[in-house]
A and B are shown apart, each in its own frame.
Chain A
Amino acid sequence: MGAWAITIHGGAGVDPNLPMERQEQAKAVLARCLEIGISALRSGAAALDVAEMVVRELETDPIFNSGRGSALTALGTVEMEASIMDGRGRRCGAVSGLSTVKNPVSLARLVMDKSPHSYLAFSGAEDFARSQGVETIDNSYFITDENVGMLKLAKEANSIMFDYRVPIDNNTNNTCGAIAGSIVNNTIDNTTTIQMNGLPISIYAPE
């Protein structure tokens, strides 16, 4: 019998000026979700079930960018994605482009367990969700006022932000604000070079 272990994250790239009460709020959610995983492991639950259970809890809380509280597309909608992988046999399941499935990670698990594929996306994934009877809900459930405000900021800065918690930085010497998470349309010699995450889009050319 080996020793169990669990680790979780709520996203990388944090606003260095995040107010203390927001930091405490985020830590409280992380601690609560960790406890759920710990007690399941103590009672002998399988790693795969614990991973799904904990990510479901993180998706349900609006504080992090997943499920309820997801970042918004340029259209102001939510398109969620998730994946899960079982180290035993390296089985896996993934979904993208979900707009009504309450817990994307559980649909990814069903793709792994109940479909002949490992990845379903957009309308195919939504159809599969209905065929499996998973809980679906109107897209508005996932949209928070805070994120509507963040999207407005991003649009004003003509940027795509990898972590929308980091505000657009005006003074460029504070690189974390300038680089982390904002794409700004730079005009150099009157030609616009689009950037993503503070880098020339060209490095993402393969992408």
Chain B
Amino acid sequence: TVGCAVVDTEGNTAAATSTGGLMNKMSGRIGDSPLIGAGTYACNLCAVSCTGEGEAIIRATLARDVAALMEYKGLGLQEAVDYVINERLDEGKAGLIAVSNAGEVAYGFNTVGMFRGSATQNGFMEVAIWE
């Protein structure tokens, strides 16, 4: 699975996710990546793209939960990401990346590593795999 979350200089956000799914999956199986609110979500506050165990991400409506925590509980981006990764996955394993309309980036995962990269206008740039 691959994904991208972006906020532009107008403060507009967008997210996209694409995947081949699970190795040895049943034909016809649909995972979280195409499901809006589960693997992908964007609104005026943030944009999110998820990866990992699709069935766990779907049950947790993981991407939408990040936005909902910001919208209804006023959590900051990284706070919302940490909460959903630590509290919403039950025993599931997943990771996600996110941006806020304020130009912040955040990520979280409870798997062994996640391939990821981030950059912000003030010069921050990171490409990493492990914690």
Contact = CB atoms under 8 A, between A and B. Distances in A.
Interface of A: 1-16, 18, 23, 26-27, 30-31, 33-34, 37-38, 41, 44-48, 50-52, 54-55, 58-59, 64-67, 69-75, 77-88, 90, 92, 94-97, 104-105, 108, 118-119, 121-122, 142, 147, 150-151, 154-155, 159-164, 166, 176, 179-181, 196-197, 199, 203-204, 206-207
Contacts of A50: 4, 6, 8, 14
Interface string B1-15: 111111111111111
Contacts, number: 369
A9 B34 contact: no
Contacts of A206: 59
Given A3-B9, A3-B122, A54-B4, A74 B19 contact: no
User: Considering the complex of A and B, which 8 residue pairs feature the smallest CB-CB distances, nearest first?
Assistant: A70-B20, A12-B95, A10-B115, A3-B103, A87-B13, A14-B113, A164-B23, A58-B2
A47 B12 contact: yes
Interface residues of B, number: 89
Contacts of B101: 2, 87
